[in-house]
Amino acid sequence: METILGDVFTWSWFSDPHGYNFNSLLIPDLDGNICIDPVDPNDQVLKELVQTGVDSILLTNRNHVRAANKIRERTGARCYIHPADAEYAKGQGAVLDGEIQDGETIGPLKVIGVSGKSPGEIALLWPARKTLIVGDAVVGNPPGQLSLLRERVMDDPARLRRSVNQLLQLDFDTILVGDGVHIIGDAKNRLKELVAGFKPA
């Protein structure tokens, strides 16, 4: 695993079809470390996760089940997703222990609804670090910029654009992305550039 923002652990898996990394995060918290959208870890990363400890696994959307079951099994962590995406995730084999609700606070993170790509898509705001964590709401591609996934994979493209626009009301300077390259610093301006290019509904 590597570290970003000082003490946040991350590991990635490169997707050849997409041409960029799928990323995972481990957020340190005294009440229990939080793993977000875990991709398949190699043996060394899995060993480190077991040693460090994982209390909760948060899935930002129905398509980010990834390696959640493996990490849940090896660490004893409990896995959570927004209820609107739960049935689909279960259909993908996810073992779920509970739900994430919009506005809820989990450790240092506040849950922000960003529906559109799927009905239960969430982002996570870390106010103390001025950091926004996203799954599929936006992607960090090309590096240094933000973009949306192709509309054909979205349930409701117009709704997603509205959700992304509303993220500009939040206070953040860094965006950690589930897909692509993280933007450390000046991330809000990168998001403003993306939103400025949206076509009127």
Chain segment 87-136, per-residue pLDDT in tens: 999 999 999 999 999 999 999 999 999 999 999 999 999 999 999 999 99
Dist CA 172 CA 4 (whole Å) = 16
In a domain, 29, yes or no: yes
Q: What pTM did the predictor assign?
A: 0.97
pLDDT at 74: 97
In a domain, 21, yes or no: yes
User: DSSP string covering 127-157, please?
Assistant: GGGTEEEESSSSBB-STTS-BPPPGGG-S-H
pLDDT at 199: 81
Q: What is the pLDDT of residues 25-70, one digit of tens each?
A: 999 999 999 999 999 999 999 999 999 999 999 999 999 999 999 9
In a domain, 119, yes or no: yes
With 70 as the cut, is the pLDDT of residue 173 above it? yes
In a domain, 201, yes or no: no
In a domain, 23, yes or no: yes
In a domain, 50, yes or no: yes
With 70 as the cut, is the pLDDT of residue 162 above it? yes
In a domain, 144, yes or no: yes
With 70 as the cut, is the pLDDT of residue 156 above it? yes
- How does the average pLDDT of the chain come out, rounded? 97
Cβ-in-10-Å burial (0-12, 13-18, 19+) of 2 comes to: exposed
With 80 as the cut, is the pLDDT of residue 10 above it? yes
The tally of domains found in the chain comes to: 1
In a domain, 46, yes or no: yes
- What tokens does 156 get? 């409701």
Contact present, 31 and 37 (Cβ < 8 Å): no
Virtual torsion, Cα 184, 128, 24, 181, nearest 10 deg: -10
Question: What average pLDDT does range 141-170 have in this prediction?
Answer: 97
CATH code of the domain covering residue 112: 3.60.15.10
With 80 as the cut, is the pLDDT of residue 200 above it? no
pLDDT at 201: 60
Range of the domain at 23: 2-196
